[in-house]
Amino acid sequence: MSNDYIYYVESNLVCFLIFGIMWVHDRFNIDRQEKQIKYDHALIAFMLYFISDGLWAAVVGGLLPKTVFTAIFTNFLNYVVMAGVTYTWLHYVMAVEQSPNRNKKIMRFAILIPFILFTVALIVLFAFFRSVMLDDALEPRLAMIICQAAVPITYIIAIMCYTLRKIPTETDLTEKKKHIYIGLFPFIVVVGGVIQFIIPQIPVFCFSCTILMLIFYIQSMDNQISLDPLTGLNNRGQLRRFLRQDAGGRSDGKKTFVMMVDVNNFKQINDTYGHAEGDWVLVMIAGSLKTVTQNNNISAFLGRYGGDEFVLIIQVSDEKNIETFADDLNDEIESRCKDHVPSYPVTVGVGYDEWFGGQDTFEKCMQRADHKLYLNKEYSKLQIR
């Protein structure tokens, strides 16, 4: 076996071990969400691909005998695991994008149809028309390459269409970046595959897959550390880190305000309509906060403080901007409720105060904002009466 193919096999082995470490680490994670489980399925599919690719290299390089059986087996195995990689990634994308029908049996079967059809076709072609698939040297012909690529390309197109079509209508910058990121991932992997097809001795494909999946993994770990899993806003740990870096007060002539926001009658919503509906309210409020912040071009830290309470640290040039922000927030919530049509009113209480920095600590300012939040809620109750 040539040194090139030994290096190729070793590279697949190293990538397999890296993915295995990520998978084992995830298996010991107590709080395993759906998208993390789907990500782990993709990791397993990639690991199987590295094994099959290593076997293919061993056959081509002469470490294993090149016979009709080994040629058919390695080519067919590469087709199956490559389809599995793109299939599991499609399910991961659907989990991240919260596709409403992603776990229905009919949807799972529909996604499997291309794989089933081409698998049957490959079996028939290998059984009765082997010369169409492999040449006299047992190298794959164009028909074999097309069959191997058809299913992965179908899933890749589905992934890109599913995610990238959301970009033009997405107002949340963070969500827009997410659509681009997970939508273009398979395209970048394909580029790696094309380069490897041109230079088959260098395992460009497994390296590109490993680098990209590591980026996703690091981002996922960072999100678990710093973000609230339900709303996607910063959690209290991230708030503490932010406060260590930012002492508050004025910045570039702007004033800093601490704003507290919580949902009116949230316990009643949970008790009457269930926690799933309560979760929808929290996610909707978080989305409204993001949208209003971006629409007003405001520099702000957005966090979920706990329960139905949110904390914002906002920098504006004038206090009137804060009043406008509060009004726009209520308008955005009302607009989103029209789409969901809940059978209960969703309103929020808002309280804010200026944070001067220095002796005026964040805790003191938050207490003042929290007191004003209480006054705002009491005033709202009087208005209802």
* pLDDT, tens digit, 9 for 90 and up, residues 309-327: 999 999 888 888 888 888 8
Q: What is the pLDDT of residue 248?
A: 54
Q: Quick one: which of 371, 373, 353 has its CA closest to 361?
A: 353
Token match 């049957």: residue? 120
Domains and CATH numbers, the chain: 3-226 (1.20.1070), 236-384 (3.30.70.270)
Q: What is the pLDDT of residue 170?
A: 64
Quote the CA–CA distance of 377 and 240 in Å, as a whole number. Answer: 27
Token match 């067919």: residue? 76
| Higher per-residue confidence, 267 vs 31 | 267
| Higher per-residue confidence, 362 vs 343 | 362
**Residue 230 confidence (pLDDT) above 80:** yes
Q: Are the CB atoms for 193 and 205 separated by under 8 Å? A: yes
% of the chain surpassing 90 pLDDT = 18
Q: Which pair of tokens denotes residue 170?
A: 């997405």
% of the chain surpassing 70 pLDDT = 90
Q: Are the CB atoms for 159 and 179 separated by under 8 Å? A: no
Quote the CA–CA distance of 88 and 82 in Å, as a whole number. Answer: 10
**Residue 73 confidence (pLDDT) above 50:** yes
Quote the CA–CA distance of 210 and 290 in Å, as a whole number. Answer: 32
Mean pLDDT of the residues in the chain: 83
What is the β-pairing status of strands 299-306 and 348-355? unpaired
| Higher per-residue confidence, 348 vs 378 | 348
Quote the CA–CA distance of 303 and 305 in Å, as a whole number. Answer: 6
Strand ordering across the sheet containing 255-263: 299-306, 309-316, 255-263, 348-355
Q: Are the CB atoms for 180 and 80 separated by under 8 Å? A: no
Q: Are the CB atoms for 15 and 54 separated by under 8 Å? A: no
Q: Are the CB atoms for 363 and 311 separated by under 8 Å? A: no
Confidence at 382, pLDDT banded by 50, 70, 90: low
**Residue 227 confidence (pLDDT) above 70:** yes
Q: How far, in Å, are 6, 236, 257, 265, 365 from residue 210 at the CA level? A: 19, 32, 43, 48, 46
Task: Point out the least confidently predicted range of 128-137, 190-199, 346-355.
Answer: 190-199
Confidence at 115, pLDDT banded by 50, 70, 90: very high
Confidence at 48, pLDDT banded by 50, 70, 90: very high
Which range among 249-258, 259-268, 334-343 has the greatest average pLDDT?
A: 259-268
Task: Point out the least confidently predicted range of 189-193, 207-211, 298-302.
Answer: 189-193
**Residue 99 confidence (pLDDT) above 90:** no
**Residue 174 confidence (pLDDT) above 70:** no
**Residue 30 confidence (pLDDT) above 70:** no
Mean pLDDT of 244-273: 79
Q: Quick one: which of 41, 186, 181, 154 has its CA closest to 97?
A: 181
What value does the CA radius of gyration of the chain take, rounded to a whole number of Å? 27
Q: What is the pLDDT of residue 175?
A: 66
Whether pTM > 0.85 for this model: the answer is no
Quote the CA–CA distance of 145 and 263 in Å, as a whole number. Answer: 57
| Higher per-residue confidence, 148 vs 181 | 148
Q: Residues with Cβ < 8 Å from 98, sequence gap 6 or more? A: none
**Residue 1 confidence (pLDDT) above 60:** no
Q: Which pair of tokens denotes residue 200?
A: 């088959």
Q: What is the pLDDT of residue 114?
A: 92
**Residue 120 confidence (pLDDT) above 60:** yes
Q: What is the pLDDT of residue 260?
A: 93
**Residue 5 confidence (pLDDT) above 70:** yes
Describe the crossing of helices 34-61 and 68-96 by its angle, rounded to 10 degrees. Answer: 160
Q: What is the pLDDT of residue 385?
A: 46
Q: What is the pLDDT of residue 269?
A: 86
**Residue 68 confidence (pLDDT) above 60:** yes
DSSP string, 124-144: HHHHH-HHHHB-TTS-B-HHH
**Residue 17 confidence (pLDDT) above 90:** yes
Q: Which pair of tokens denotes residue 176?
A: 């827009």
Q: Are the CB atoms for 325 and 298 separated by under 8 Å? A: yes
Q: Which pair of tokens denotes residue 251?
A: 């910045």
Mean pLDDT of 267-296: 87
